[in-house]
Structure 1
Amino acid sequence: MKTILKPLSYIGLLLTVMPAFLVFYGVLSLDNHKLLMLIGMLLWFVTAPFWILKKKVD
């Protein structure tokens, strides 16, 4: 499961960072920027906690 979640998380991070640079260089419109960042944010927050958090051992 971690092998699937990690790449999806990193894709989510990439979708939150790259659109800002693409808008800066005039490649991407602001509306598409907002949509890609929303998708990236949701992808990151849905997948990352499952492989980042470690289980507490008592």
Structure 2
Amino acid sequence: MKNFAKMMSLITLCMIVVPCSLFFAGAIELPLVKSIALFGTIVWFIFTPIWMSRQLPVDAAEVEI
């Protein structure tokens, strides 16, 4: 599952960067860039925490503040 999440995270990151670069080069229009980048951002925020989350140390639950 983590490998799939990493792959999707990379793909959606490309969905954010590539359309912006194409717009800068004059290849596509702004409304299309906004749509693709918005979709890529939403999906990136869904998949990235799956593989970037970290495990807390064992004693973290036992510490009282």
What is the aligned-residue RMSD (CA, Å)? 0.8
Residue 15 of structure 2 corresponds to: 15
> Runs of 5+ in structure 2 lacking a partner?
59-65
Residue 32 of structure 1 corresponds to: 32
Give % identity: 33
Using the size of structure 1 for normalisation, the TM-score is 0.91
Residues matched between the structures, number:
58
Runs of 4+ in 1 over 6 A off after TM superposition: none
Amino acid at match of 2:45: F
- In 1, Cα distance between the equivalents of 2:55 and 2:28? 41
Please say which structure displays the higher CA radius of gyration. 2
Amino acid at match of 1:50: I
Amino acid at match of 2:57: V
- In 2, Cα distance between the equivalents of 1:48 and 1:19? 20
Using the size of structure 2 for normalisation, the TM-score is 0.82
Where relative contact order (Cα < 8 A, 6+ residues apart) is larger, the structure is 1
> Runs of 5+ in structure 1 lacking a partner?
none
Residue 41 of structure 1 corresponds to: 41
